[in-house]
């Protein structure tokens, strides 16, 4: 059994490592079974491949796993559902697995520390740099009953990383990396494969062996426990910092986003940052996109949000007008704010971006004293607040300006300061 440097053959995966060789085509005169491990991307199996080549490679993979106790690593993708290798190696389990593959991309995942197998180093080396494109619609019981282990699940609990024992061999299905170097990816794969052969060379100890004491074996126990605790705390801190970074980067969606899932949450988050009290849609009964309240004056506003590849026209304006008038009939008066991300696919400095609302929308806004808020200008305000997060005068000035503006609104730092000074000026 190989101990240190297994020879790895790669097909369709962009990777670099001293122990990894590349199979350019399934028709090449290289046998998979001559290697200790095979890494492949199932989306490349049908590129210029004939049936004879697939049959030959399938048998080589079976020999690699079942006769040599080798390991196969397959990148889990939607194409895994049609992978011809899986059934041959895993039998009925493979058929079940292929039938459970569901497409869907994401980066939020949870690694199961209790999983038994060899895939753990993959997630350690590529921590925070994995972007899955598929998951398995399989329960943990179905997987464990087939000598499988789940190593990671997505945010709703579907497996995105599993491995199966096949005699002394092993098959791993792992999510692809995102924005990593070929060397880093290669190191992660090589570590999995080396770990497999290290485990394969070990003999299971009988129950009584656990009671045998070896002098000095426990002298590092406390230090190991402390280091593990520190590692967990560091991982939690990194996760928290990455979450904070993501929340900040999400503000960029103000410049190109649209819809309820992207632009509207970004707008609400931006208005909260400026200091408005902004409720989530499920917290109020109306159908409008944004409901906000100025905390000091108590003034309120309703907003409609629209992202478009061209100009923001009157449709959303009319919808906002209906909401404002309905509320007025109930005795509740609000400022109307039409929030638009017009010409969203153009750079922020493009000439079209400087006038995102149609003439009809501008005339309607003037008639009803609505504010027309381009998200490009809202983004500028967000950046100014993030640069001076303790500047409450700046935030108050922006809020005052938004609630007092009729027609298109633009962020100007000096104007915001002037607005708050005006608001603080005694009357009478």
Supply the pLDDT for residue 417. 47
Kindly report the CA angle at 73 between 111 and 5, in degrees rounded to 5? 105
The predicted pLDDT at position 182 comes to 93
Q: Do 183 and 274 reside in the same domain of the chain?
A: no
Of 199, 232, 259, which one is at a domain's C-terminal end? 199
Judge whether 234 lies within some domain. no
**pLDDT given for residue 236 in this prediction:** 85
From the CB of residue 82, how many other CB atoms can be counted at a distance below 10 Å?
A: 13
State the Cα–Cα distance between residues 17 and 19, nearest whole angstrom. Answer: 5
Residue 170 lies in a domain: yes
- Name every residue whose Cβ is closer than 8 Å to that of residue 230 and which is 6 or more positions away in sequence: none
Q: Which residues of 328-367 are buried (b: 16+ CB within 10 A; e: fewer)?
A: eeeeeebbbbbbbbbbbeeebeeeebeebbbeebbebbee
Same domain, 193 and 255: no
Q: What is the pLDDT of residue 367?
A: 96
| 212 lies in some domain | no
Inside any domain, residue 237: no
In the chain, the largest separation of any two C-alpha atoms, in whole Å, equals 94
Q: Is the domain of 67 the same as that of 194? A: yes
pLDDT of residue 201: 53
Range of the domain at 390: 251-424
In a domain, 131, yes or no: yes
Query: 27 and 168 share a domain?
Result: yes
What global pTM score does this model have?
0.53
Q: Is 102 domain-assigned?
A: yes
CATH number at residue 70: 3.40.50
pLDDT of residue 202: 53
The pLDDT assigned to 205 comes to 63
Task: Give me 318's structure tokens.
Answer: 């009319």
- How far apart CA 163 and CA 151 sit, in angstroms, is 8
pLDDT reported for residue 292: 95
Looking at residue 370, which CATH number applies to its domain? 3.40.91
Which CA distances in Å does 63 have to 31, 80, 195? 11, 21, 20
What does the pLDDT read at residue 289? Answer: 95
Please tell me the total count of domains within the chain.
2
Identify whether residues 312 and 418 lie together within a single domain: yes
Q: Assess if residue 174 is contained within a domain.
A: yes
CB-CB contact of 303 with 323 (8 Å): no
Coil vs helix vs strand at 170:
strand
Q: Is 404 inside a domain boundary?
A: yes
Q: Which long-range contacts (CB under 8 A, 24 or more apart) does 177-181 make?
A: 177/126, 177/129, 177/130, 177/131, 178/107, 178/129, 178/130, 178/131, 179/129, 180/126, 180/129
Q: Specify the pLDDT at position 273.
A: 97
Q: Mean pLDDT, 10 residues at a time, over the chain (428 residues)?
A: 73 93 91 95 76 90 92 94 87 87 90 87 91 91 87 92 91 93 93 86 66 87 90 86 89 93 94 96 91 96 95 94 95 96 94 94 96 97 95 95 96 58 40
Sheet holding 290-293, edge to edge: 277-278, 290-293, 300-307, 335-341, 371-374, 407-408
């Amino acid at each position: 059994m190989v101990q240190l440097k297994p020879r790895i053959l790669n097909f369709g995966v962009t990777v670099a490592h001293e122990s990894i060789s590349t199979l350019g085509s399934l028709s090449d005169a290289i046998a998979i079974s001559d290697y200790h491990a095979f890494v492949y991307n199932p989306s490349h199996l049908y590129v210029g491949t004939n049936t004879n080549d697939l049959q030959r490679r399938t048998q080589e993979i079976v020999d690699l796993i079942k006769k040599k106790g080798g390991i196969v690593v397959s990148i889990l993708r939607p194409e895994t559902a049609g992978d011809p290798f899986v059934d041959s190696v895993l039998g009925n389990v493979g058929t079940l697995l292929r039938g459970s593959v569901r497409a869907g991309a994401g980066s939020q995942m949870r690694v199961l520390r209790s999983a038994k197998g060899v895939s753990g180093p993959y997630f350690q080396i590529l921590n925070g740099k994995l972007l899955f494109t598929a998951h398995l619609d399989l329960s943990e019981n179905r997987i464990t009953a087939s000598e499988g282990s789940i190593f990671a699940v997505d945010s709703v609990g579907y497996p995105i990383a599993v491995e199966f024992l096949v005699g002394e061999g092993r098959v791993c299905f792992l999510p692809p990396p995102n924005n990593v170097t070929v060397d880093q990816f290669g190191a992660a794969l090589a570590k999995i494969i080396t770990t497999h052969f290290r485990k394969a060379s070990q003999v299971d100890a009988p129950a009584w062996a656990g009671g045998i004491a070896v002098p000095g074996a426990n002298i590092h126990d406390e230090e190991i426990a402390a280091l593990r605790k520190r590692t967990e705390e560091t991982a939690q801190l990194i996760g928290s910092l990455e979450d904070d970074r993501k929340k900040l980067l999400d503000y960029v969606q103000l410049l190109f986003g649209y819809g309820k899932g992207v632009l509207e949450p970004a707008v609400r988050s931006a208005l909260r940052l400026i200091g408005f009290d902004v409720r989530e849609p499920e917290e109020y009964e109306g159908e409008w996109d944004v409901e906000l309240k100025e905390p000091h004056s108590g003034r309120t506003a309703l907003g409609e949000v629209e992202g478009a590849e061209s100009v923001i026209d009157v449709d959303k304006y009319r919808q906002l007008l209906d909401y404002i008038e309905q509320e007025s009939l109930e005795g509740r008066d609000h400022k109307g704010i039409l929030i638009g991300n017009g010409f969203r696919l153009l750079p922020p400095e493009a000439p079209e971006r400087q006038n995102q609302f149609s003439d009809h929308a501008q005339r309607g806004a003037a008639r009803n004293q609505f504010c027309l808020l381009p998200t490009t200008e809202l983004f500028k305000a967000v950046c100014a607040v993030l640069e001076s997060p303790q500047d409450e005068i700046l935030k108050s000035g922006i809020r005052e300006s938004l609630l007092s503006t009729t027609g298109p609104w633009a962020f100007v730092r000096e104007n915001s300061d002037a607005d708050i000074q005006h608001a603080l000026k005694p009357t009478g």
